[in-house]
Amino acid sequence: MNVADVVPLVLGIMATGAVAGVLSGLLGVGGGIVIVPVLFWVLAGLGFPAGLGMQVAVATSLVTVAVTALSSARAHHARGSVDMGIFRVWAPFMAAGALAGGAVAGYVSGRALLALFGVIALLVAWNMARPRTRILAPALPAVRGAQPAMAGGIGFISAMMGIGSGTLGVPVMTAFSVPVHRAVGTAAALGLIIGVPASLAMVVAGLGVDGRPPASLGYVNLVAVALILPLSVACAPLGARLAHALEPIWIKRAFAVFLCLTSVRMLWSAFG
């Protein structure tokens, strides 16, 4: 790839970080669910095959998830919003699920990752569009194996999607009556538990694969990580200011519309 190819790639990745920051601040979502589809579209526009582009997008997003989760978790912990009881129970099983999910994501078809992302994003959009959170039980299940299974499943699916634990973990925890601020804080801390093992698995899986973007370590593109993180952080306050100017219901609806459109586009890429 020559300089003429690298310049639009860099500009496209910078745009990915900016868009992810604004939408993360506006909609209150982890950057992964924004970074993965946008980076995938950037790579597709630059001529990378859909399968390879999705694996690079997922792996790269997982690294940004791990880094941002560390900062976010410290802030939430300082405010006492990380439930350490849930964290201790969930962390080892979520890490195992994330490691397995990252390993599978590195070897399955990229189109399978597209399909998974599209389907899960549709379900999340449907959940966000509902006027109220449905409470399934007054507390998390005490049955042995239930919480480990939940944590492992969330870790596995989140790793394959390239996202942190917030997108799936927060709805699950709040459905079992965990207060939303504690669910968000705990999910932020668990994002590190997903990002580190899953991204390492995708580094190993991508070693030696032909056709990857320049400066890639396995499936992780180091240039994208370096460009996305600072721009995402810098643009998030703009999204936060927009969020304060809108009614909460419209923020949730905006998130649902964004995810719905994203999922349809990803499914079209997978099956079209």
Strand partners, 221: 216
Rounded to whole angstroms, the Cα distance separating 10 from 15 reads: 9
Rounded to whole angstroms, the Cα distance separating 39 from 16 reads: 6
> In this predicted structure, what is the pLDDT of residue 30?
63
> In this predicted structure, what is the pLDDT of residue 29?
61
> Could you tell me the pLDDT band of residue 258, with boundaries at 50, 70 and 90?
confident
What pTM, to 2 d.p., does this model score?
Answer: 0.85
Rounded to whole angstroms, the Cα distance separating 168 from 158 reads: 8
**Residues 147-191: tens digit of each pLDDT:** 999 999 999 999 999 988 888 888 888 888 888 778 878 888 888
Q: Could you tell me the residue ranges of all domains in the chain?
A: 3-110+134-245
> In this predicted structure, what is the pLDDT of residue 72?
73
> Could you tell me the pLDDT band of residue 196, with boundaries at 50, 70 and 90?
very high
> In this predicted structure, what is the pLDDT of residue 244?
60
Residue 90 has pLDDT above 80, yes or no: yes
> In this predicted structure, what is the pLDDT of residue 238?
76
Rounded to whole angstroms, the Cα distance separating 52 from 111 reads: 9
Residue 248 has pLDDT above 90, yes or no: no
Q: What percentage of the chain carries pLDDT values higher than 90? A: 31
Rounded to whole angstroms, the Cα distance separating 17 from 31 reads: 9
> Could you tell me the pLDDT band of residue 209, with boundaries at 50, 70 and 90?
very high
Q: Average model confidence (pLDDT) for the chain? A: 84
Query: What are the structure tokens assigned to 69, written together?
Result: 């989760």
